[in-house]
Structure 1
Amino acid sequence: MKRFLRSLLAKYMLIIFMALILLQLTYFMLALVNIVGMNLAGHPPLDEKFSEEEVEQEWHEAASNMKNVSKEEMSEHFSKWSEKYTEASMFWIDENGKLILEKNVEEALPQEWTSTFAVEFIKERYGGDPFTVIAFVGTNKEQGFIVTEMPRSAFNPPIVDIYDKYGSLLTIGVVVIIFLFIVVSFLFFRGIRKRLLQLQEAMELRDTDGLPIEVNIMKKDEIGQLENTFNQMVTELRDSKRREKEEEQLRRELIANLSHDLRTPLTKIRAQSDSLKQEDLSTDGKNALQAIDSSIYNTARLIDNLMSYTLLSASKYTFEPKKIDIIRFVRESLATWYPSFEEANFGIDVNLAPINDAKWVVDPLWFGRILDNLFQNVLRHAKSGNYISVKTKTTEHYDVIIISDRGAGMNHPSYEKGIGIGLSIVDMMVKEMNLEWDIDSNEKGTTIRIKRSR
C-alpha cells in the first residue's frame, strides 16, 4: 500500500479526484448562493415550490367558494393571490362579458368579451405559455369567470432557476476547473518528461572510462525505481570494467614475463645450433639442424610479436613519426626479403610507380615492422602460389601500397597458421599512424592495401 501511494498512478488519481471535488463544490456553492438570494429577496423556499396542478386546484377552489362577490372582495382576493404567486396576473369577466377587474396584466384586454373571443382566448392559451387557469365564480356560474396566468418558468425546478440565473457563472466555473485540471496535468506530465530526459541524458553522457554517469534519485516512484535500477547497472558495469582492466593488466604482465623468460633459453639454443654448424654432419643432420634454425627463428619472431602486441596495447611502444620517402622505404625493405623469396622460388613482381605524395609521416621502425609481418605471412602461407606482387597506385582520394599473392587465401588451412598476432600488430600500427588498410582474400589469392588519404 505504501508503495502504491508513492506511485505516479496514485498521484494522477489524486489530481482527478480533486478536480471532481472542485466541480461538485462549484455546483453546491451556486445552489447555496441562489437559496440565500431567494430568501433575502422574499421568495418562497425551494421546498415550497408549487406545481401546475396545485395552482389550478387552488384557483378553482377559491372561485367556487365565492358567492355574490363584490368588486372589492375580488380585488382583495387578487391581492392575496399576487402576494403568494408574485409572477401571476389576474382578471375578472362578469356574466355579461365585461372586464370588471384586472391585476398585473401586461397585455391590453378588451372591455367587452364575446363568446367567439373567449373561445379564441382559451384555444390560444391551452397548453401554451403562460400557464392559464380559467374558473367560474361561484357554483351557479352566474358571476362570470376569473382568469389567472403565470409564466411556466415559475414552475421550473430549483436547478433550472439556478442555471437560468447563474448559468454563465457555472459555465465559467466548469471551464476554470477544466483549465486548472489541464494545467495541473500538464505540470505533472512535464515533471515526468523532465525526469525521463535527465535519465536519457545521463545514459548518453560518459565518464573517463566510457561508462554512463549515475543519476540522483529524488523520489521513490516508478521513475525513481528506474533510476535506481540504472544506477545499479552503472555500478555493475564499473565493477566489470575494473575487473577487465585488472585481467588485461595481468595478461600483459604474463605475456611480458614469458617473452622475457623465453629469450634467454632461446638465445642459448641458437648459440648451440651455431656451434653444431661448425661440425661435420651428415645430410640428415644438416636437414635437422636447418629445421631447428627455422623453429628458432619462428619462435623468436613470435616472442617479438607478443612483446610488441603487449606494448602496443598498453600504449608503451615507442612511436617516433617522421617524414620519409615511402617508395624508397618499401623498395629497401623488399630488397632485404629478396633472398628469402628467391630461395622459395617465388615470382616477384615489383611496380613502385610514382604517387601523388611520396612523403609519408610514419615511424620507420613501425612501418618496417608492418612490411616484415606482411612479407613473412606471404612467405609462410602463400607458398602454393609462389608469387608476390608489390605495387603503388594513386587514386582521386588516396595513395596506396598494394601487396598481393596467389596463395590459397586466408581461409585455407595452413600447418604454419598461427593465432593472427602479426596482423593484429599491423592493424594497431596502421591505425596509430593515421593510415587505412583492407584485405581481400579468396581461394585465388590475397590482396592487402595500405592507404594514405589526401
Structure 2
Amino acid sequence: MSRYLLIVLLALLFIPVMFALASLALVISAPVTRSLDTNTSQYGSAADLESAWHQEAAMLANQSADQINRRLKELKGKYPDASLFWVDVDGGTRLQLPQQAGLPLHWTASSAIRFMKESVNRDPFTVIALLGKDDSAKAFMVLQIQRSLLRHTAPLGYSTTYLIGFMVLMFVLFILLSWLFFRQIRVRLLGMQSAMALPADNSLPLPIVQHKEDEIGQLEGAFNEMVVQLRASRQREREEEELRKRLISNLSHDLRTPLTIISSQIYSLRRDVPGQSAQKALSQIEGKIGDMGSQIENLLSYTLMASGRYTLQTERQDVLRLVRESAAAWYPHWEKEGIDADVQLPEQPLIWNVDKEAFRRVLDNLFQNVARHAGGGAYIGIYTEEHEGTLALVIADRGEGMDTDSPGKGAGIGLAIVDYLLREMGLCRQTAGSMEGTRVYIYPRAMDSNF
C-alpha cells in the first residue's frame, strides 16, 4: 500500500516535477550543446551574421564607391558561399559578387520594398543594411546565403522538440514504473490462484513461499495456515474413518455369535414349548433375528465396499436367468407373506457384464425391501421394459414403497450396497414412485459399450 501511495503521489506531482527536471536538464546541457553547435558552421548563426553585416554597413557610411567595392571583395573572401551586392544613393546596382540574374539595374522605392518582402523568412537568408547610421540613408548593401550553412540561433537543448521529447521520456518512465509495480502484484496473485487450485488427484494444495511481509504476504501466510489446518483435519478424518470401519467390522463379527446362539435356543424351544401362540411368537422372534443377521451382513459388506476391499469379477451373463433363480428362491417367502409374485420375463436372454454373486446380492436386497416396506400391497412384479433407450429390468410393487417413511425403514444400507454393486458393474438404478406403487429400473449406463 505504501508503494502504491508513492506512485499516486508521483502522479500528482508529475507535471511540475517534470518541468523542474526539464529546466535543470536544459541548464546543464546548454553549455555542451552550445559548444557542439559552434562548430557546425563557419558563418555562425543568422543573428550573428546579421549583426556583423550591419556593423560593416555602418563603417562604410560616407565612403567612396571604390572603398565600398574593395571592402565587399574582402567580405566575399570571408563569406565565399554568400552573394553580395550594393546599391548607391541614386538607386543604381553596383558591384555584384557574383553576378546575379534578375536583379534590377535601377532600384525604386517600390522595387526595394518588394525585394525585402520576398526575402523575409525565405531561403536564401537575406540581410539588407543601410550604408549610414540613420534611417535617412538611401544606399544599402545586401548579403544572401543558404540557411543550411548557418548555425541555429539557440542551442539544440532549447528547442521545443527537445522539451517535448524529454517530457515524453519521463512520462514513459513513469508508466513503466507503474506497470512493473502492478505486474509484480499480478504475478504474486496469479501464483496464489495457482496454489489454491486443487490438483487433479483432489489432494490438498501446497503451501506458498512467503517472500515479503506486505498485505499479499500476510494473505499468503493465512493461506499456508489454512493448508496446515486442512492437512490436520484430513488426517483426523482418515483416522476416524479407519476407527469407524474397524468398529463396524468388530461389531459385525461380535454380534454374529450371540445371534447364532439365540437361533439355536429358539430351535430347542420349538420342541419344548407347546401352544400355537407360543410357536407364533417364536416364529416372529426367529424372523427378527434373521432380519438382524441380514442387517449385520449388509453392514459388514458395506464396510468392505467403503474400504475398497470388495472386489468383483464381471463376465457376460444372462441376467434374466439369474433373476428367475433368485425369484424362485424367494417365492416361498413371498407366498408366506401373502405377496403375489408376477414374473413376466422374455425367453430371449439378456446378456450383461455382471458379477454373478454381486447381481444376486442386488436382487436379494431389492426383493427384501419389497417384502419389508411394500408387503401391504401384496404384489411384486418382475418384467422388462424399454427405458432410457435400452431394455431395463423392472421390479415393481403396489405398496408405500422404499421411498416412504414406512415402519420398517432402516438407515438405507441395503440400497447403498445395491447402488455400489450396480455402479461397479456398469449398471444404473432409477426409482419411480407414485400412488400406485414403486418401480425400480435397472439398466446399463449409456456410456458403457460392453452390453
Amino acid corresponding to residue 247 of structure 1 in structure 2: E
Is the Cα contact below 8 Å between 1:199 and 1:215 reproduced in 2?
Answer: no
User: Where does structure 2 lack aligned partners over 5 or more consecutive residues?
Assistant: 12-17
Is the Cα contact below 8 Å between 2:91 and 2:107 reproduced in 1?
Answer: yes
2:233 is matched with which residue?
A: 240
Is the Cα contact below 8 Å between 2:252 and 2:299 reproduced in 1?
Answer: yes
2:250 is matched with which residue?
A: 257
Cα distance, 1:224 vs structure 2: 7.7
After superposition, what is the alpha-carbon deviation per residue over 1:38-72, rounded to whole angstroms, capped at 9, x for unaligned? 23446699xxx7769x957x876775665421346
1:145 is matched with which residue?
A: 140
After superposition, what is the alpha-carbon deviation per residue over 1:136-156, rounded to whole angstroms, capped at 9, x for unaligned? 525594662334567788665
2:411 is matched with which residue?
A: 419
1:427-438 to 2 correspondences below 5 Å: 427-438=419-430
2:14 is matched with which residue?
A: none
- How has the CA–CA distance of structure 1 residues 128 and 376 changed in structure 2, closer, same or farther, with 3 Å as cutoff? same
1:135 maps to 2:130: yes
Is the Cα contact below 8 Å between 1:93 and 1:146 reproduced in 2?
Answer: yes
Is the Cα contact below 8 Å between 2:399 and 2:438 reproduced in 1?
Answer: yes
Cα distance, 1:309 vs structure 2: 0.7
After superposition, what is the alpha-carbon deviation per residue over 1:92-137, rounded to whole angstroms, capped at 9, x for unaligned? 2111112234568977533322344224324434676646545352
1:61-210 to 2 correspondences below 5 Å: 63=57, 67-71=61-65, 73-74=67-68, 90-102=84-96, 108-125=102-119, 130=125, 132-135=127-130, 137-139=132-134, 141=136, 144-148=139-143, 156-159=153-156, 196=190, 200=194, 203=197, 205-207=199-201, 210=202
Distance 2:113 2:308 in 1: 117
1:246-325 to 2 correspondences below 5 Å: 246-317=239-310, 319-325=312-318
- How has the CA–CA distance of structure 1 residues 226 and 206 changed in structure 2, closer, same or farther, with 3 Å as cutoff? farther
Distance 1:447 1:245 in 2: 38
Normalising by structure 2, we get a TM-score of 0.72
1:16 is matched with which residue?
A: none
Please give the root-mean-square deviation of Cα atoms over the aligned residues, in Å. Answer: 5.1
Cα distance, 1:348 vs structure 2: 1.7
Is the Cα contact below 8 Å between 1:382 and 1:409 reproduced in 2?
Answer: yes
Amino acid corresponding to residue 402 of structure 1 in structure 2: V
Is the Cα contact below 8 Å between 1:355 and 1:393 reproduced in 2?
Answer: no
Distance 1:219 1:123 in 2: 74
- How has the CA–CA distance of structure 1 residues 442 and 73 changed in structure 2, closer, same or farther, with 3 Å as cutoff? farther
1:386 maps to 2:378: yes
Normalising by structure 1, we get a TM-score of 0.72
Is the Cα contact below 8 Å between 1:135 and 1:145 reproduced in 2?
Answer: yes
Aligned residue among 393, 412, 431 for 1:401: 393
2:15 is matched with which residue?
A: none
- How has the CA–CA distance of structure 1 residues 227 and 412 changed in structure 2, closer, same or farther, with 3 Å as cutoff? same
- How has the CA–CA distance of structure 1 residues 42 and 316 changed in structure 2, closer, same or farther, with 3 Å as cutoff? closer
1:15-30 to 2 correspondences below 5 Å: none
Distance 1:235 1:140 in 2: 98
2:36 is matched with which residue?
A: 37
Is the Cα contact below 8 Å between 2:204 and 2:231 reproduced in 1?
Answer: no
Amino acid corresponding to residue 299 of structure 1 in structure 2: M
Aligned residue among 332, 338, 342 for 1:349: 342
Is the Cα contact below 8 Å between 1:437 and 1:449 reproduced in 2?
Answer: yes
- How has the CA–CA distance of structure 1 residues 240 and 79 changed in structure 2, closer, same or farther, with 3 Å as cutoff? farther
Is the Cα contact below 8 Å between 1:411 and 1:442 reproduced in 2?
Answer: no
After superposition, what is the alpha-carbon deviation per residue over 1:349-395, rounded to whole angstroms, capped at 9, x for unaligned? 1111134643x443332222111110010011112322111113578
Distance 1:203 1:231 in 2: 14
Is the Cα contact below 8 Å between 1:214 and 1:230 reproduced in 2?
Answer: no
Amino acid corresponding to residue 37 of structure 1 in structure 2: L
Secondary structure in 1 matching 2:409 = coil
- How has the CA–CA distance of structure 1 residues 44 and 332 changed in structure 2, closer, same or farther, with 3 Å as cutoff? same
After superposition, what is the alpha-carbon deviation per residue over 1:388-435, rounded to whole angstroms, capped at 9, x for unaligned? 111135789644321111222444221111010000011111122232
User: Where does structure 1 lack aligned partners over 5 or more consecutive residues?
Assistant: 14-19
Distance 1:127 1:80 in 2: 27
Distance 2:335 2:306 in 1: 35
Amino acid corresponding to residue 155 of structure 2 in structure 1: P
After superposition, what is the alpha-carbon deviation per residue over 1:260-292, rounded to whole angstroms, capped at 9, x for unaligned? 222222222222222222234445434433332
- How has the CA–CA distance of structure 1 residues 33 and 400 changed in structure 2, closer, same or farther, with 3 Å as cutoff? farther
- How has the CA–CA distance of structure 1 residues 39 and 60 changed in structure 2, closer, same or farther, with 3 Å as cutoff? closer
Is the Cα contact below 8 Å between 1:31 and 1:162 reproduced in 2?
Answer: no
Distance 2:329 2:441 in 1: 21
Distance 1:322 1:447 in 2: 27
Of stretches 212-221 and 341-350 in structure 1, the one that deviates more from structure 2 is 212-221
Amino acid corresponding to residue 368 of structure 1 in structure 2: R
Distance 1:79 1:141 in 2: 26
Identity of aligned residues (%): 35
